[in-house]
């Protein structure tokens, strides 16, 4: 019985479809809220500034951003393009809903990006997990953070 406990899944593999190729890895930043580009982020720091967003005050710079997709105007891609120019873009995008603004935003950041997953990344990935995105192969490897106390960081 102890062997079953010890073999608990530490690395999760998800397959999906490449939007922008490349390989990147980093800490996951996960939200179930869509992200607004124009007025929703500060491109200088990669910080979410939208008033009612669950990630307000948190930066996605250099992280693997896991979220449902984009919301708002076509300015979304312009704001995320600015994050690339200011070195505050996400390391990678993992998103569920493909839209033209999401696709263009992924392309202009040059960040490896994926969608159309075999398993919902919002159900498999938690903020703080280490995620390796190989968009060229269509493979995501998630290494769970070592956190036995799942209380989270929300206050």
So which residues are the catalytic ones?
A: 73
Q: Is 101:71 a contact under the CB 8 Å cutoff?
A: no
Within the chain, strands assigned E span: 11-15, 17-20, 23-30, 35-36, 41-42, 47-48, 64-67, 70-71, 92-95, 113-115, 130-134, 139-143
Q: φ and ψ at 16, to 5 degrees?
A: -160, -170
Compute the distance between CA of residue 19 and CA of residue 21 in angstroms, rounded to an integer.
7
Q: DSSP class of residue 124?
A: H
């Amino acid at each position: 019985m102890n062997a079953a406990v010890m073999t608990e899944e530490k690395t999760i593999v998800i397959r999906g479809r490449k939007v922008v190729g490349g390989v990147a890895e980093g800490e996951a930043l996960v939200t179930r809220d869509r992200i607004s580009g124009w007025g929703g982020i500060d491109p200088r720091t990669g910080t979410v500034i939208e008033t009612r967003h669950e990630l307000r005050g948190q930066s996605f710079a250099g992280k693997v951003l896991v979220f449902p997709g984009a919301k708002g105007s076509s300015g979304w891609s312009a704001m995320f393009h600015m994050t690339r120019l200011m070195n505050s873009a996400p390391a990678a995008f993992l998103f569920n809903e493909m839209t033209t603004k999401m696709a263009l935003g992924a392309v202009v950041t040059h960040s490896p990006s994926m969608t159309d997953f075999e398993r919902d990344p919002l159900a498999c990935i938690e903020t703080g997990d280490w995620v390796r995105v190989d968009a060229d192969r269509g493979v995501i490897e998630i290494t769970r953070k070592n956190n036995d106390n799942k209380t989270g960081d929300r206050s």
